[in-house]
């Protein structure tokens, strides 16, 4: 009898050198192309993107050419798309930001006269163009949603961290140390850039395996990322922290009581804690916590932000002990949500920010899948009507036992009268 692995847990469907997650090691490790993320320091997101896509760090000339490609692609962003997105938003004010970003990718595909061009080289070229344009698109969507004109704002081309500087320019956060926030954004980008065969990346590789184009694959990945069990979790994290702050629930005892009553007693999960792969903590979360603290200490942080940090610290300590023999560690969403909020990026942009970073890993995986393509085609274990509807157990069917006559059962015998209802059209 085949074994069903619900959710494809612990199933290996391909080999990769893009990213390695060593969840059982102590401490746990996350590596990009054999590079431990804890050793990367203040490296730029663009160098990490190059590493993920091409497998090596760029030399000086290669990096200059890569940056120039990104800048050129951003300058070529079709301005007509901005007007279309504005009309969509005006027609439906309730549309969320990530859905508007997704529509922007659809439009970029429509503007690309070579969008259906085949081959790994073409796919990679288009992927790098999306790597350049998605941060700009995210900023445009933010400015449309908040009615901040002009919608198109350039910047960051000559900065040490160009993509992070561009995002800073698009969001135009006041009363903060711009250098420090750019550094924090840059680190957050490369920490989110890649994470193995997560749901959205698997979705992307699945689509690429059909021979489809990278626009379609990234649109599919965005749909996956939007879900609250994936990238959407960070929105729920900051919502919880703000709820605790507004109710003045700051002390550990009060937070514990609230979490127990509002979540565990109701059978709910607390977003931002636990992970499908990591059981001993997420190495990205520790780095992001430091980034949040550095941002707060180096800027004119509000009283609310400082209180939120204290609440987040206390909640993290509580979750490590609230379940006997099962500590719940914070994941990447936990501290990332507070980092974005402390910088001034609204919670509804969190998923779009996640996508802006993850596109580097998506392009790398699309390239790798295209180079050694095999169509993904898993199977589902069929259960008969007897098992599903009547709770009866029958031997596994073989093709020789199946008879398609409506008056004959699948076992080749006269069908009992009480099963006749299953023949009727529904």
Q: What is the pLDDT of residues 391-417, one digit of tens each?
A: 665 555 444 444 445 544 444 555 555
- How does residue 231 score in pLDDT terms, banded at 50, 70 and 90? confident
Count each helix (H run) and each strand (E run) in the chain, helices first: 16, 3
pLDDT given for residue 409 in this prediction? 47
Share of the chain above pLDDT 90, in %: 66
- With 0-12 CB in 10 A as exposed, 13-18 as middle and 19+ as buried, what is 59? exposed
Q: Identify which has the larger pLDDT, 290 or 420.
A: 290
* Encoded tokens for 419: 């099963």
- How does residue 423 score in pLDDT terms, banded at 50, 70 and 90? low
CA distances from 371 to 16, 177, 250 (A): 12, 44, 52
Assess whether 5 carries a catalytic annotation: no
Separation CA 193–CA 358 (nearest Å)? 4
Among the listed residues 192, 195, 213, 333, the single catalytic one is 333
20 pairs with which residues across the strands?
31
Residue 197 has pLDDT above 50, yes or no: yes
pLDDT given for residue 275 in this prediction? 81
pLDDT given for residue 232 in this prediction? 84
Residue 237 backbone phi and psi in degrees, to 5: -65, -55
pLDDT given for residue 363 in this prediction? 98
- How does residue 30 score in pLDDT terms, banded at 50, 70 and 90? very high
Q: What is the largest CA-CA distance in the chain?
A: 81
- For residue 130, give the DSSP letter: H
* Inter-residue contact 200 to 224 (CB < 8 Å): yes
Domains of the chain: 14-229+345-371 (1.10.580.10), 234-340 (1.10.230.10), 385-423 (no CATH)
- How does residue 71 score in pLDDT terms, banded at 50, 70 and 90? very high
CA distances from 353 to 178, 255, 331, 348 (A): 18, 29, 16, 10
pLDDT given for residue 280 in this prediction? 82
Average pLDDT of span 341-365: 95
Share of the chain above pLDDT 70, in %: 89
- What's the predicted TM-score (pTM) here? 0.89
pLDDT given for residue 191 in this prediction? 97
Residue 360 has pLDDT above 80, yes or no: yes
Where is average pLDDT lowest: 65-74, 229-238, 356-365? 229-238
- How does residue 425 score in pLDDT terms, banded at 50, 70 and 90? low
* Inter-residue contact 207 to 217 (CB < 8 Å): yes
Separation CA 307–CA 325 (nearest Å)? 29
Where is average pLDDT lowest: 1-5, 131-135, 240-244, 257-261? 1-5
Residue 174 has pLDDT above 80, yes or no: no
- For residue 400, give the DSSP letter: G
How far from the centroid of its chain's Cα atoms is residue 345's Cα?
17
* Inter-residue contact 403 to 409 (CB < 8 Å): yes
- How does residue 192 score in pLDDT terms, banded at 50, 70 and 90? very high
Residue 175 has pLDDT above 60, yes or no: no
Separation CA 117–CA 127 (nearest Å)? 13
- With 0-12 CB in 10 A as exposed, 13-18 as middle and 19+ as buried, what is 9? exposed
Where is average pLDDT lowest: 17-26, 28-37, 408-417? 408-417
Residue 51 backbone phi and psi in degrees, to 5: -60, -45
Q: Identify which has the larger pLDDT, 157 or 223.
A: 223
Question: CB-hemisphere CA count at 13 Å for 21?
Answer: 18
* Encoded tokens for 392: 């009866």
- How does residue 286 score in pLDDT terms, banded at 50, 70 and 90? very high
pLDDT given for residue 395 in this prediction? 54
pLDDT given for residue 289 in this prediction? 95
* Inter-residue contact 305 to 294 (CB < 8 Å): no
* Inter-residue contact 195 to 276 (CB < 8 Å): no
Separation CA 137–CA 158 (nearest Å)? 20
Where is average pLDDT lowest: 147-151, 172-176, 244-248, 319-323? 172-176
Q: Identify which has the larger pLDDT, 233 or 336.
A: 336
Place of tokens 């607390």: 270
* Length of the chain as a residue count: 426
Among the listed residues 195, 230, 275, 365, the single catalytic one is 275
Do β-strands 19-22 and 35-36 pair in parallel, antiparallel, or remain unpaired? Answer: unpaired
Assess whether 333 carries a catalytic annotation: yes
Residue 422 has pLDDT above 50, yes or no: yes
Task: Spell out the residues 6+ positions from residue 112 whose beta carbon is closer than 8 angstroms to its own.
Answer: 126, 215
Tens of pLDDT, residue by residue over 75-118, are 999 999 999 999 999 999 999 999 999 999 999 999 999 988 88
pLDDT given for residue 23 in this prediction? 79
Residue 296 has pLDDT above 70, yes or no: yes
Mean pLDDT of the chain: 89
Average pLDDT of span 245-271: 93
Average pLDDT of span 267-294: 89
In what order do the strands lie in the sheet containing 35-36?
19-22, 29-32, 35-36
């Amino acid at each position: 009898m085949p074994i069903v692995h619900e959710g494809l847990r612990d199933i290996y469907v391909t080999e990769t050198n893009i990213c390695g997650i060593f969840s059982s090691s102590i401490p746990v490790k996350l590596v990009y192309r054999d590079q431990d993320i804890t050793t990367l320091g203040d490296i730029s997101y663009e160098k990490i993107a190059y590493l993920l896509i091409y497998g090596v760090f760029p030399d000086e000339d290669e990096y200059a050419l890569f940056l120039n490609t990104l800048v050129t692609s951003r300058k070529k962003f079709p301005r007509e798309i901005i007007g279309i997105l504005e009309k969509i938003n005006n027609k439906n004010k309730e549309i969320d930001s990530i859905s508007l970003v997704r529509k922007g990718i659809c439009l970029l595909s429509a503007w690309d006269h070579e969008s259906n061009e085949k081959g790994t080289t073409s796919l990679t070229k288009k992927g790098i163009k999306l790597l350049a344009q998605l941060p700009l698109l995210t900023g445009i969507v933010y400015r449309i949603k908040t009615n901040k004109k002009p919608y198109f704002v350039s910047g960051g081309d000559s900065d040490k961290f160009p993509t992070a500087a561009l995002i800073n320019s698009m969001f135009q956060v006041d009363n903060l140390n711009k250098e420090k926030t750019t550094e924090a954004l840059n680190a957050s980008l490369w920490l989110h850039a890649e994470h193995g065969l997560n749901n959205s990346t698997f979705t992307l590789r699945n689509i690429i395996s059909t021979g489809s184009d990278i626009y379609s694959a990234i649109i599919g990945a965005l749909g996956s990322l939007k879900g609250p069990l994936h990238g959407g979790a960070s929105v729920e994290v900051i919502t919880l922290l703000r709820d605790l702050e507004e109710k003045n629930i700051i002390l550990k005892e009060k937070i514990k009581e609230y979490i127990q009553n509002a979540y565990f007693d109701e059978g709910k999960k607390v977003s931002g804690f636990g992970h499908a792969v990591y059981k001993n903590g997420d190495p990205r979360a520790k780095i992001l916590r430091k980034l949040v603290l550095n941002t707060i200490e180096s800027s004119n942080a509000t009283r609310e932000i400082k209180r939120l940090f204290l609440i987040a610290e206390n909640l993290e300590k509580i979750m490590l002990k609230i379940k006997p023999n099962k500590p719940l560690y914070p994941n990447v969403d936990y501290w990332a949500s507070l980092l974005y909020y402390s910088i001034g990026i609204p919670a509804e942009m969190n998923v779009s920010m996640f996508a802006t970073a993850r596109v580097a890993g998506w392009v790398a995986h699309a390239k790798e899948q295209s180079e050694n393509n095999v169509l993904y085609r898993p199977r589902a274990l069929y259960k008969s009507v007897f098992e599903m509807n009547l709770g009866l157990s029958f031997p596994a069917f073989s093709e020789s036992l199946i008879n398609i006559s409506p008056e004959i059962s699948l076992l080749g015998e006269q069908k009992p009268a009480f099963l006749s209802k299953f023949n009727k059209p529904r």
